[in-house]
Amino acid sequence: MAAFDLPPPSLIGREFSDEAARAALAALSGPYLPWGSGAMRPAGLATVCNDIVLNGRRRIVELGSGISTVLLARLLCQRSPPGGFRIAAVEHDAGWAQWVTEQLDREGTGSEVVVVHAPLASHPRAERGLNWYDHDALTAGLRGALRGDPIDLLLVDGPPAYAPGHGLARYPALPVLRNWLAPGATVVLDDAERPGEREVLRRWERETGLDFDRLADRAGVAVARTGGAGTVNGPQRG
Ligand SMILES: C[S@@+](CC[C@H](N)C(=O)[O-])C[C@H]1O[C@@H](n2cnc3c(N)ncnc32)[C@H](O)[C@@H]1O
Is residue 56, in this structure, part of any structural domain at all? yes
Pocket flag, ligand 1, residue 44 (CB < 6 Å): no
Is residue 160, in this structure, part of any structural domain at all? yes
Is residue 105, in this structure, part of any structural domain at all? yes
Is residue 198, in this structure, part of any structural domain at all? yes
Strand partners, 63: 90, 156
pLDDT at residue 52 is higher than 90: yes
Number of H-type helices and E-type strands within the chain: 8, 9
Pocket-testing residue among 28, 157, 170, 189, ligand 1, by greatest number of atoms within 8 A of Cβ? 157
What CATH number should be reported for the domain holding residue 55?
A: 3.40.50.150
Pocket flag, ligand 1, residue 119 (CB < 6 Å): no
Between 15-19, 28-32, 92-96, 129-133, the lowest mean confidence (pLDDT) is in: 15-19
The SS3 assignment for 15 reads coil
Mean per-residue pLDDT of the chain: 90
Is residue 171, in this structure, part of any structural domain at all? yes
pLDDT in tens, 53-63: 999 999 999 99
* Residue 215 domain boundaries: 41-225
pLDDT in tens, 122-153: 999 999 999 999 999 999 999 999 999 999 99
With vertex at residue 105, the alpha carbon angle to CA 103 and CA 107, rounded to the nearest 5 degrees, is 75
Pocket flag, ligand 1, residue 141 (CB < 6 Å): no
pLDDT at residue 70 is higher than 90: yes
Residue 234, pLDDT score: 52
Among protein residues, the one with the nearest Cα to ligand 1's atom 7 is 39
Residue 227, pLDDT score: 86
Instruction: Work out the pLDDT band at 230, boundaries 50, 70, 90.
Output: low
> Mean of the pLDDT values across residues 80-92?
94
**CB-count burial class (<10 Å; 0-12, 13-18, 19+) for 24:** middle
Between 114-118, 176-180, 217-221, the lowest mean confidence (pLDDT) is in: 217-221
Strand partners, 91: 117
Instruction: Work out the pLDDT band at 16, boundaries 50, 70, 90.
Output: confident
Spatial separation of the C-alpha atoms in residues 57 and 84, rounded to whole Å: 10
- The count of domains in the chain is 1
pLDDT at residue 27 is higher than 50: yes
CB of 210 within 8 A of CB of 173? no
Is residue 61, in this structure, part of any structural domain at all? yes
> Mean of the pLDDT values across residues 12-31?
84
CA distances from 29 to 37, 80, 85, 89 (A): 19, 17, 20, 20
| CA 142–ligand 1 middle distance (angstroms) | 19
> Mean of the pLDDT values across residues 58-86?
96
| CA 101–ligand 1 middle distance (angstroms) | 13
Is residue 26, in this structure, part of any structural domain at all? no
CA distances from 204 to 40, 144, 158, 175, 224 (A): 21, 27, 16, 8, 10
Is residue 237, in this structure, part of any structural domain at all? no
